[in-house]
Amino acid sequence: MIRSKDDVAQELVRVHFSVEPALSRIYRIRSEREDEPGEPIKLLEVNANTVATGSIDTFTFAPTKEVPVPTVIAEVTPEEHKQLEEGKLRLPGGWSLQGAETFERPAA
């Protein structure tokens, strides 16, 4: 059975919360080309354990058997997230929080 891109993204979110204890929020960034097969799942993760860099760098992962679509992940600290909200930090080109799906850490 082929899983939908949405199902794969939700599973990635679930797994990332389960293995990253300092992860507080994940944004799934969607583009106008979201329905195209090669368009990656894009996740912006707010993680207190990541290293602040003053920029938002992305990491791209090729499709695998478990995650059959490309994936792009960026991590920011809570402080960098605040800077992003204040307009002091910019998202990667083509990324926007407008229309992003937001996932909060599930209660224990």
What pLDDT band is residue 103 in, cutting at 50, 70 and 90? very high
Nearest 5°: CA angle at 61, between 59 and 66?
Answer: 140
User: What is the rounded CA–CA span in Å between residue 55 and residue 77?
Assistant: 10
Domain boundaries, the chain: 5-104
Portion of the chain with pLDDT greater than 70, in percent: 97
Residue 75 has pLDDT above 90, yes or no: yes
Residue 1, pLDDT score? 59
For the stretch 13-58, pLDDT in tens is 999 999 999 999 999 999 888 888 789 999 999 999 999 998 999 9
Domain 5-104 has CATH 3.30.460: yes
> What pLDDT was estimated at residue 76?
97
